[in-house]
């Protein structure tokens, strides 16, 4: 593991690190904020998964999350959204390939050799961070925005007991029924849509639900509402009688202005769950 940068931040440290990923067969970069409390021992962890076109850096610099994480003594992990490198497959479209890993393990060429983002987020990166930093992997929450909200919800519902709490900002909520989903799931996983179900938050909510609290915020003026399909997930939450809150926020769009506005609420939500665990 290489240290790219470390900066003092709200009494703690905002670091950026890179390492050779076995899962993705390339060099991967991630951001990690450690609050001041980490100098005294392991602290709870909140994962933030970013959306299409993003790297580790977008939320790290735009979401305003560190100040609230410092207030609650929580570490923040900002992974990248896809494998990177000259030999990594890509596509001319912004919503496939680099920057658009969709948090799945690809089974189809040319994506399969590197696009193993599920294993990277669920297994490899937690093990690396747990071995090198003062974090408590028995207390983990997960959140994300757009494609990252999709990833957060699907990881949480597929890995019972792993995460104490899950939240999302404008998640791609029903990708098997959306052009933000069907295109990518076909490319990465193949034509058999039975393989897609574990990567659809609405279908997972209908079938499994989540064994903890859920918080979803969606901008009512989001320019991508027809692609996100929040109404499908909201209906599934209600039908499942899931312990959760779905909030439609008037006037807000899909941008980081929206994310940063409600970041305080989301970190407080996770803090309540993580420190109550």
The three state secondary structure string of the chain is: CEEEEEEEECCEEEEEEEEEECCCCEEEEEEEEECHHHHCCCEEEEEEECCCCCCCHHHHHHCCHHHHHHHHCCEEEEECCCCCCCCCCCCCCCCCECCECCCCECCCCCCCCCCEHHHHHHHHHHHHHHHHCCEEEEEEEEEEECHHHHHHHHHHHHCCCCCCEEEEECCCCCHHHCHHHHHHHHHHHCCCHHHHHHHCHHHHHHHCCCCCCEEEEEECCCCCHHHHCHHHHHHHHHHHCCCEEEEEECCCCCCHHHHHHHHHHHHHHHHHHHHHC
Quick one: pLDDT at residue 276? 87
Question: What is d(CA 234, CA 215) in angstroms, rounded to the nearest whole number?
Answer: 11
* Total domain count, the chain: 1
Chain segment 150-192, per-residue pLDDT in tens: 999 999 999 999 999 999 999 999 999 999 999 999 999 999 9
Q: Residue 277: is its pLDDT beyond 70?
A: no
CATH number at residue 66: 3.40.50.1820
Structural domain span for residue 241: 2-276
Q: Would you please indicate which residues are annotated as catalytic (active-site) residues?
A: 146, 222, 254
Mean pLDDT of 70-81: 98
pTM attached to this predicted model: 0.97
């Amino acid at each position: 593991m290489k240290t790219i940068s470390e900066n003092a931040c709200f009494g703690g440290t905002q670091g950026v690190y890179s390492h050779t990923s076995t899962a993705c067969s390339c060099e991967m970069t991630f951001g990690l904020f450690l609050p001041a409390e980490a100098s005294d021992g392991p602290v709870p962890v909140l994962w933030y998964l970013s959306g299409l076109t993003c790297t580790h850096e977008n939320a790290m610099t735009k979401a305003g999350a560190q100040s609230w994480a410092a207030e609650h003594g929580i570490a923040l992990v900002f992974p990248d959204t896809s494998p990177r490198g000259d030999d990594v497959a890509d596509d001319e479209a912004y919503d496939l390939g680099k920057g658009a890993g969709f948090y799945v393990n690809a089974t189809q060429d040319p994506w399969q050799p590197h696009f193993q983002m599920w294993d990277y987020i669920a297994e490899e990166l937690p093990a690396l961070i747990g071995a090198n930093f003062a974090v408590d992997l028995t207390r983990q929450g997960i959140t994300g925005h757009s494609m990252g909200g999709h990833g957060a919800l699907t990881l949480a519902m597929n890995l019972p007991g792993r995460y104490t709490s899950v939240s999302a900002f404008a998640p791609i909520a029903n990708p098997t029924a959306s052009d933000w989903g069907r295109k990518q799931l076909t490319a990465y996983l193949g034509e058999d849509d039975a393989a897609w179900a574990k990567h659809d938050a609405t279908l997972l909510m209908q079938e499994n639900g989540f064994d903890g609290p859920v918080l979803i915020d969606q901008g009512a003026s989001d320019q991508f509402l027809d692609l996100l399909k929040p109404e499908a997930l909201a209906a599934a939450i209600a039908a499942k009688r899931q312990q959760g809150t779905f909030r439609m926020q008037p006037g807000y769009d899909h941008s980081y202005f929206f994310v940063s506005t409600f970041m305080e609420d989301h970190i407080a939500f996770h803090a309540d769950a993580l420190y109550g665990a």
